[in-house]
Amino acid sequence: MLRRQQQVQSQMQRVLDTLLIVLSFWLAYQLRSSEQILGQIGLGLLGIFGGTKEIEPLSEFYPYMLLTIPLSLVLLESQGFYRRPILASRGLTAWQLTKACFLITTGLILAAFLAKTSLARAVFILFGCISFIVVFLKEEILRRYLIYAMGEAGFRRRIILVGTDEDVAQAEKDLKLGDAEDLEVVARVDINRQAVSDFVDLLHRHSANGVLLATRHSYFGSIEKVIQACEIEGVEVWMLANFFNTQISRTTLDELYGRPVVVFRSTPDFNWQAHVKQAMDLVGALVAILLFSPILIGCMIAIRLGSPGPVFFRQQRSGLNGQPFTMYKFRTMVTDAEQRKDELMAYNEMAGPVFKVTDDPRITPIGRFLRRRSFDELPQLFNVLKGEMSLVGPRPLPVDETMQFDELAHRRRLSVKPGLTCLWQISGRNQVTDFKEWVRLDLEYIDSWTIWLDIKILLKTVPVVVGGEGAK
């Protein structure tokens, strides 16, 4: 993992740990207060925490609660807690947390002693125990998620090594890529013997989302062609060599396992906004599913009663970097719609590989209503929950349509997660009949992306969908 990405994730971890530390202190106070109440009726924990003694108001503990935040973060940092391997052992995590929590508790008690206060020391002891449990539980949940994500091949970055056989082998050895938990070498390209077209084919075949240039020699012409091919398609390039002039990529310096690399990026940067977008996708999808659950159930019943066939339509769509995934929609057409597509090809209204027809005879009566209100897209909220789609992003196209792209630059729309809505959705939807204009809107979104742009698009999508503007 690049150092900058580690720094962003480490910052996010610190913010989350800060919230958990404050929560732990509050829980410790509440537990001590409940012990006092239970002790008065003879149900306390044998007075082990002095529960029968009246406890001071929470406001008197505020200075110590605030002290726990910098003290905890400094002690965790000193233990190397935020510099551990991505899947550190439970033993290491527990040991680092134990030392940090012990020192925090000791520091709080010492601070209270020096301040000559009579505050209940049991709150500090309970805080040390609860903070250990809460933070360790957070780490365990994160660990299980990462193991699941790696097992699904969604977490590991798929990279192609480019260089001479000698340089590629040396880079793998120096960087220990075989032991990397978050990287997977899917292909190797000998820059001396293989053409750039072979590299592009491997890029598509493996749905690679990273390229590592490992060349210590001056193959500038071939390397520049590789970089240009990657920037056109929105694939990151990490180079262990010199700079090259690019057209649309932003060039940054970073580190990969302690070695300096040059990153050429023509996609949104990996920063705190990317984490906010992921959280917004998860929370937004969950809230939307709960909010629209009556509509979801009503649509399922209407489709079942309206025409024979399954309720859901499943189709392979091109996801991030072209990786195929199964997209869900409510079925709005007859069951043999795919077989009849060739019959209607002459009526296609879109210029390019995309197929759109007004008054498509394959659409069922209930399906026409669902499309008009965009209810047929609601099952894609589950694709968002699975991490295959985002709330905002270029609309996913069928795999066979993306294979027909006649310009490689069109593939750069695959360099971000597909979404439920995007600039195309709020710019007339199917009124945009030129695929190049569709792609232009998608690339405009990619090049100018911010979390605020996502929010604006979501807000503008609501009236467009409610009004049925451009829907077919």
Give the amino acid at 71.
L
pLDDT at 208 over 80: yes
Token pair 């260089």: residue: 163
Q: How far apart are CA 254 and CA 250, in angstroms?
A: 13
Q: Which residue has the higher pLDDT, 84 or 326?
A: 326
Determine the pLDDT at residue 392.
Answer: 95
Which 8-state DSSP code applies to residue 9?
A: H
pLDDT at 241 over 70: no
pLDDT at 471 over 60: no
Instruction: Tell me the pLDDT tens digit for each residue of 81-108.
Output: 888 877 778 888 899 999 999 999 999 9
Q: Give, for 453, the enclosing helix (H) or strand (E).
A: helix 451-467
Please state which of the ranges 71-80, 199-208, 316-325 shows the lowest mean pLDDT.
71-80
- Half-sphere exposure of 202 toward its Cβ, with a 13 Å CA cutoff? 20
pTM value surpassing 0.75: no
Q: How far apart are CA 41 and CA 21, in angstroms?
A: 31
Which 8-state DSSP code applies to residue 394?
A: P
Instruction: Tell me the pLDDT tens digit for each residue of 369-428.
Output: 998 888 999 999 999 999 899 999 999 999 988 888 878 878 888 999 999 999 887 876
Mean pLDDT computed over 336-346: 79
Query: What residue ranges of the chain are covered by domains with CATH 3.40.50.720?
Result: 157-265
Please state which of the ranges 7-16, 375-384, 451-460 shows the lowest mean pLDDT.
7-16
CA separation, residue 199 to residues 14, 166, 207 (Å)? 40, 18, 12
Instruction: Tell me the pLDDT tens digit for each residue of 170-181.
Output: 888 888 888 777
Hey, CA dihedral for 55, 61, 64, 65, is it positive or negative?
A: positive
Question: What is 157-265's CATH number, 3.40.50.2000, 3.40.50.970, 3.40.50.720, 3.40.50.2300?
Answer: 3.40.50.720
pLDDT at 152 over 80: no
Please state which of the ranges 118-132, 258-272, 286-300, 369-383 shows the lowest mean pLDDT.
258-272
Please state which of the ranges 28-37, 86-95, 123-132, 268-277 shows the lowest mean pLDDT.
28-37
Q: Which residue has the higher pLDDT, 115 or 389?
A: 389
Q: How far apart are CA 157 and CA 78, in angstroms?
A: 30
Mean pLDDT computed over 49-69: 78
Determine the pLDDT at residue 472.
Answer: 55
Given a contact cutoff of 8 angstroms between Cβ atoms, the answer to whether 425 and 453 are in contact is: no
Determine the pLDDT at residue 381.
Answer: 95
pLDDT at 42 over 70: no
